[in-house]
């Protein structure tokens, strides 16, 4: 049981040693040097950001000069490498960092992904390379370093060798899934890169940004559908912008988050489809990142501060299907878009008090394969604790539990749809369904009854992913895991 708590109101080296042993704090490869600057594998954050921008600026610019073509199977395994000497060369500019090599994985495939989401090369370069990258101050417990572009478009995350390798093996199936369904809550991957210098390899992935900085998040959750140790620590709660977990949600938002019928149907269909895809790839330990903007609380805060209403809104995102609303609209009944006004890309909802909310959601941390280390971890935890409560599980069980928790505990639906009034986001709260609100995403709302369904309740394969596509995805993924593919990491 979680303790009661209140929601929050609101010198460069590459890769030289940046601090003597014992100086600063470390978590995995992430640390802090004597000057207080973040380091990753003993490389200062400022140096890492500079190398990222130099490398991406060159590789994307060079690729844009090449003619577009269809993606071939071998494109997923191509690795391009360019050397950046500090004095410069006939291909690269001079810089004040030590020499480094920049690797780009599957450049043609990732160009296709960017095009699929409507990201032009010049926009991608402008976002990543024109302005200084912003380091996120609350990166979590993964030991990774996160950078955000100034325009809120992209997140750059450092990843471990196994995660980068797993993503590359995942690319053929990922490609097929995006072609079938670009509207998804799964991460949108736009690039995979590696910086090599002084014997160090720093790998990073560029993804869509789920939580826009321009919208104040009054609550933030990392949800897995597990209860074992899924409670924010005392240290985490003391942060200015803490990230809460499953038990915190169940304690503080006992009524869940209520959506109208069309919105709930679209969201649950998307969640079911994504869970089936993740299970087919034997992926587990992922989370739902949930940001909650409380419209009524924001208005009260403005009145208390004596300020006028802030009419400024986030600039429209360049990437298609990247907002929470866009990611689920494709699953609306009859294929229709859900009409909203002034939602800033969020999904309108209400809490148990009837307060108007905007939800920003996305599935994160999908680069975890259920391999031997995870099997051993679950076996050990299950011997000590209730096996059904721990978060490390076989992929099928994990997907079932994740879907059930999200569709019945976190998200609930009102008994009738309520129109969103022009000029404001509003939902009329009447009566909402309880745990019986969980229903199979293969059913239309009119077919739903009061039984509780798991991920496969009365399952029909979602129309956007056919049985043949699932078998093909499984085949390519099994080939990736078990086949004798060229190792490029």
Model pLDDT, residue 64: 86
| Domain 26-208: top CATH class | alpha beta
Higher pLDDT pick, 368 / 450: 368
pLDDT tens for each residue of 136-183: 876 666 688 899 999 989 999 999 999 999 999 999 999 998 888 888
Model pLDDT, residue 150: 92
Name the band, by pLDDT with cuts 50, 70 and 90, for residue 472: low
**Tokens in use for 362?**
């996305």
- pLDDT, averaged across the chain: 77
DSSP notation for 252-310: H-TT-EEE-HHHHHHHHHHHHHHHHHHHHTTB-S-EEEEEEEEHHHHHHHHHHHTPPP-
**Considering only 59-68, 270-279, 340-349, 395-404, which range has the smallest mean pLDDT?**
340-349
Model pLDDT, residue 47: 87
Model pLDDT, residue 65: 82
CATH 3.30.810.10 positions along the chain are 219-458
**Distance (Å, whole) CA 339 – CA 334:** 14
Model pLDDT, residue 229: 83
Mean pLDDT over 274-280 rounds to 93
Burial of 396 (0-12, 13-18, 19+ CB in 10 A): middle
**Distance (Å, whole) CA 12 – CA 478:** 43
Q: 317 in the Ramachandran plot: left (φ > 0), alpha (ψ -120 to 50) or beta?
A: beta
Higher pLDDT pick, 302 / 203: 203
Report strand pairing: 146-148 vs 30-32: unpaired
Model pLDDT, residue 144: 86
What is the three-class DSSP state of 411? strand
Residue found under tokens 């309880």? 434
Model pLDDT, residue 441: 36
Mean pLDDT over 123-142 rounds to 85
pLDDT tens for each residue of 363-412: 999 987 655 445 555 455 554 545 555 445 588 999 999 999 999 999 99
Model pLDDT, residue 476: 52
Q: What is the CA angle 145-149-154, rounded to 5?
A: 80
Cα–Cα nearest to 284, from 375, 392, 205: 392
**Is the pLDDT assigned to residue 437 strictly greater than 50?**
no
Residue 21: which residues within 8 A CB-CB, separation 6 or more?
none
What own/partner pairs with CB < 8 Å and gap ≥ 24 does 376-381 have?
Answer: 381/228
Report strand pairing: 100-105 vs 79-84: antiparallel
Model pLDDT, residue 323: 72
Residue 61: which residues within 8 A CB-CB, separation 6 or more?
121, 125
Model pLDDT, residue 22: 42
Cα–Cα nearest to 366, from 211, 136, 169: 169
Model pLDDT, residue 66: 86
pTM of the model: 0.77
Model pLDDT, residue 213: 85
**Is the pLDDT assigned to residue 484 strictly greater than 60?**
no
CATH 3.30.800.10 positions along the chain are 26-208
Mean pLDDT over 443-469 rounds to 46
pLDDT tens for each residue of 215-265: 999 999 999 998 888 899 888 888 888 999 999 999 999 999 999 999 999
- pLDDT > 70 fraction of the chain, expressed in percent and rounded: 67
Model pLDDT, residue 325: 80
**Tokens in use for 301?**
């805060």
Model pLDDT, residue 251: 93
pLDDT tens for each residue of 72-103: 999 999 999 999 988 889 899 988 888 899 99
Supply the angle between the helices 395-404 and 261-280 in degrees, to the nearest 10: 170
Report strand pairing: 411-413 vs 257-259: parallel
- pLDDT > 90 fraction of the chain, expressed in percent and rounded: 44
Model pLDDT, residue 318: 58
**Is the pLDDT assigned to residue 425 strictly greater than 80?**
no
**Is the pLDDT assigned to residue 298 strictly greater than 60?**
yes
Residue found under tokens 């600026």? 57
Mean pLDDT over 41-54 rounds to 88
219-458 fold: 3.30.810
């Amino acid at each position: 049981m979680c303790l009661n708590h209140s929601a929050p109101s609101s010198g460069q080296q590459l890769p030289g040693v940046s601090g003597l042993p014992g100086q600063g704090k470390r978590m995995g490869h992430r640390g802090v040097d004597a000057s207080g600057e973040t380091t990753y594998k003993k490389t200062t954050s400022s140096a890492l950001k500079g190398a990222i921008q130099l490398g991406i600026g060159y590789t994307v610019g060079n690729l844009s000069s090449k003619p577009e073509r269809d993606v071939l199977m071998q494109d997923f395994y191509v690795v391009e490498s360019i050397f950046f000497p500090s004095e410069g060369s006939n291909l690269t500019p001079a810089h004040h960092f030590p020499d480094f090599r920049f690797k780009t994985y599957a450049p043609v495939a990732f160009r296709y992904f960017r095009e699929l989401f409507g990201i032009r090369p010049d926009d991608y370069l402008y976002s990543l390379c024109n302005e200084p990258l912003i380091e996120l101050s609350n990166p979590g417990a993964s030991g990774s370093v996160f950078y955000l572009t100034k325009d809120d478009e992209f997140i750059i995350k450092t990843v471990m060798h196994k995660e980068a390798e797993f993503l590359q093996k995942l690319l053929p199936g990922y490609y097929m899934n995006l072609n079938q369904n670009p509207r998804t809550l799964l991460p949108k991957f736009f690039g995979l890169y590696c910086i090599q210098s002084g014997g160090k390899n720093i790998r990073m992935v560029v993804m869509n940004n789920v939580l826009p900085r321009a919208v104040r998040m009054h609550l933030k959750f990392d949800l897995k559908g597990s209860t074992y140790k899924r409670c924010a620590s005392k240290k985490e709660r003391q942060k200015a912008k803490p990230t809460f977990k499953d038990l915190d949600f169940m304690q503080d938002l006992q009524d869940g988050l209520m959506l109208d019928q069309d919105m709930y149907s679209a969201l649950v269909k998307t969640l079911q489809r994504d869970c089936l895809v993740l299970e087919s790839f034997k992926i587990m330990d992922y989370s739902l990142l949930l940001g909650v903007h409380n419209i009524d609380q924001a208005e009260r805060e403005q009145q208390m501060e004596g300020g006028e209403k802030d009419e400024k809104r986030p600039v429209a995102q360049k990437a298609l299907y990247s907002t929470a609303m866009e990611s689920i609209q494709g699953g609306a009944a009859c294929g229709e878009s859900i009409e909203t006004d002034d939602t800033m890309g969020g999904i309108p909802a209400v809490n148990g008090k009837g307060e108007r909310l905007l939800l920003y959601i996305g599935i994160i941390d999908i680069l975890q394969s259920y391999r031997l280390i995870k099997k051993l971890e679950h076996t050990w935890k299950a011997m000590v604790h209730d096996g059904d409560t721990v978060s490390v599980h076989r992929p099928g069980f994990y997907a079932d539990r994740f879907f059930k928790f999200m569709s019945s505990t976190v998200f609930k639906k009102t008994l009738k749809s309520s129109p969103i009034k022009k000029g404001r986001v509003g939902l009329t709260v009447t009566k909402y369904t309880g745990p019986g609100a969980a229903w199979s995403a293969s059913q239309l709302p009119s077919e739903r009854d009061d039984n509780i369904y798991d991920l496969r309740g009365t399952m029909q394969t979602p129309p956007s992913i056919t049985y043949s596509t699932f078998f093909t995805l499984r085949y390519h993924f099994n080939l990736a895991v078990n086949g004798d593919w060229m190792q490029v990491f």
